Structure 1
Amino acid sequence: MIITGGAIAQPSPSSTTDYDPTASLSLTIPFGAGGIRDFGISLNLLTTNEENAWMGGAGVTFYPARDNKLGCSVIGGRNFTNSELHFGYDFCQKVFNFGVGVLDTKGEDSVEVLQDSDIRLKQDVEQIATLDNGLKLYSFKYLWDDTTYVGVMAQDLLQQAGYRDTVTTGNNGFYAVYYSRLGLKMVTLDEWQQDNTSIFL
Structure 2
Amino acid sequence: MKKGLIGLITAIALSPALANAQSYGMGAGAGLYLGMSAGKTEVESSTLDNANSLTGVNVDDSDTGFKVFGGTRINPNMAVEVFYNDFGEFSIDTPAASFTSTTEASTVGFAFTGILPVTPDIEVFGKLGMHSWKTDFKSNDGQSNDDDGFDATFGAGVALNIQQITIRAELERYKLDSDDVDMMSVGVAYRF
Q: TM-score, normalised by structure 1?
A: 0.32
Q: TM-score, normalised by structure 2?
A: 0.33
